[in-house]
């Protein structure tokens, strides 16, 4: 199989992911996979699966939609949208758009999955005091201010 085929299989796994199907993600990960996002930086298949288990504990109905993909060397990329309700924010709906940088080994297992997305505007903004502070700080960096 090619990197494009591996990426397509990985993307499909995300789009069909449920709490009960976490083993399907684990099967696509190398034992020493590195996963990083704005909240986590872990190494190891079990640690990555634990992050997804936590997602199901913290959210109602989390779902991923793949918006696009690109095959590169050494990394491939997935643009995605995650939606759901955050339990700790009064079950407020959330929509996060990001890009995953994914690398595969020769057997097609993911060795590196780095998520790039803006936690400040897409998550922290859900919390009234923190959101207000972040918007205030952001105005200081805007041109013409």
pLDDT digits (tens, 9 = 90+) for 28-62: 999 999 999 988 999 999 999 999 999 999 999 99
pTM: 0.82
Q: How far apart are CA 28 and CA 38, in angstroms?
A: 22
Share of the chain above pLDDT 70, in %: 81
Sequence spans of domains, the chain: 3-117
Q: How far apart are CA 103 and CA 97, in angstroms?
A: 20
pLDDT score for 137? 47
CB 55 within 8 A of CB 37: no
Q: Is the pLDDT of residue 132 over 90?
A: no
- The single-letter DSSP state of residue 46 is H
pLDDT score for 144? 57
Q: What is the mean pLDDT of the chain?
A: 86
Q: Is the pLDDT of residue 109 over 60?
A: yes
pLDDT score for 1? 82
3-117 domain in CATH 3.10.450.50?
yes
């Amino acid at each position: 199989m090619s990197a494009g085929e591996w990426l397509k299989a990985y993307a499909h796994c995300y789009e069909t992911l449920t709490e009960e199907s976490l083993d399907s993600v684990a099967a696509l990960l190398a034992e020493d996979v590195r996963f990083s996002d704005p909240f986590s930086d872990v190494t190891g298949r079990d640690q990555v699966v634990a992050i997804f288990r936590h997602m199901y504990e913290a959210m109602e109905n989390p779902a991923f939609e793949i918006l696009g993909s690109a095959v590169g060397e050494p990394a491939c990329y997935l643009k995605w949208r995650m939606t759901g309700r955050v339990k700790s924010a009064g079950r407020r709906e959330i929509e996060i758009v990001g890009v995953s940088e994914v690398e595969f080994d020769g057997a097609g297992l993911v060795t590196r999955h780095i998520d790039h997305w803006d936690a400040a505007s897409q998550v922290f903004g859900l919390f009234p005091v923190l959101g207000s502070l972040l918007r205030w700080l952001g105005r200081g960096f805007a041109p013409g201010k």
